[in-house]
Amino acid sequence: MSLLQAVARPLVVLGFDYGERRIGVAVGQMITGTATPLATLEQHAGRIDWDGIEVLVDAWNPDAFVVGLPGGPPDAARELKTAIGGFRRTLEARFEKPTHTVDEAYTSVEAHHHIKTNRQNARAHGRVNPRRVNKGAIDKVAAAILLEAWMADPRSHQLP
């Protein structure tokens, strides 16, 4: 890869874990390949919180977006895949940034396990005593996991 290509690669990326009730959002740094959970935006009556997304886009000024897609057979989760496709197209058109997809299979399960393990470790050191894992926390951690998976796969962001 040439220096020009390296400079042209997106450096800051926002990742979205789209769900029917909530959208988890994370920010990733291409240089380090790491992502940080940012926020979980609630959907009310099926309405996406575009104002909340705009605040995050303004704050982080990403070079690109990554949206998780459920894996599995084409017929599986058809309605959700259709909704995610609409979200992705609107996101790209509204903010005029390239939008990529990544398989989000098992990211929510992995996020739940990650949060639970961290809380158990904190509790063992006397810092936190949560009884339940917050679903909103799962969504934004899942967004970070899918974003890191996308950044780790060079095929995901190859330049033409």
Predicted confidence (pLDDT) per residue in 37-75, tens digit: 999 999 888 899 999 999 999 999 999 999 998 876 666
Residue 111 has pLDDT above 50, yes or no: no
Residue 121 has pLDDT above 60, yes or no: no
pLDDT: is 118 or 145 the higher one? Answer: 145
Neighbour count for residue 158 (Cβ, 10 Å):
10
Range of the domain at 131: 3-157
pLDDT: is 54 or 21 the higher one? Answer: 54
Report the number of distinct structural domains present in the chain: 1
What CA–CA distance (Å, rounded) separates 155 from 110? 23
Nearest in space to 99 (alpha carbons), one of 128, 120, 121, 68: 68
Q: Domain containing 24 — which CATH number? A: 3.30.420.140
Mean pLDDT lowest among 33-42, 110-119, 127-136, 142-151: 110-119
Mean pLDDT lowest among 66-70, 114-118, 132-136: 114-118
What CA–CA distance (Å, rounded) separates 132 from 1? 46
